[in-house]
Amino acid sequence: MKHDALIQTVIMTQSEWPLWEVFIRSKQGLDHKHVGSLHAADAQMAIQNARDVYTRRQEGISIWVVESKHVHASNPDDAEAFFDPANDKVYRHPTFYQVPDSIKHM
């Protein structure tokens, strides 16, 4: 009864439903954007609950859910050093360059 044992362990080790992060595409052509989280027993239920919790007023046309434990994040304590490489590269921005007034369309 390997099958049943597997089910039992899942139930026993989890008193509350897992947490899911919810992403919603508000209209065609836009990115899915993080809107919040919710608890659900599985992905299918998470999508249904996300519809009821986060799109009661037509806020979305598409939903993604990701179980929160699968999200990996950069460490805020290291943010300064981590994002440092971009700090001294002003030449990556168009405003770094001087364009003569007589030049149009640039």
Identify which of residues 40 and 100 has a Cβ nearer to other proteins in the complex: 40
Identify which of residues 30 and 36 has a Cβ nearer to other proteins in the complex: 36
Minimum CB separation from other proteins for residue 92, in Å?
25
Angle at CA of residue 46, ends 64 and 5, nearest 5°: 120
- CB–CB of 22/35 below 8 Å? yes
Q: In what order do the strands lie in the sheet with 19-25?
A: 32-39, 19-25, 62-67
Identify which of residues 11 and 86 has a Cβ nearer to other proteins in the complex: 11
DSSP-derived letter for residue 14 is -
Contacts of 63 (CB under 8 A, 6+ apart): 22, 23, 24, 25, 47, 50, 51, 54, 55
Minimum CB separation from other proteins for residue 105, in Å?
40
Contacting positions for other proteins (CB under 8 A) = 3, 6-7, 10-11, 14-17, 19, 35-39, 41-42, 45, 52-53, 56-57, 73, 75-77
Minimum CB separation from other proteins for residue 85, in Å?
21
Minimum CB separation from other proteins for residue 53, in Å?
5
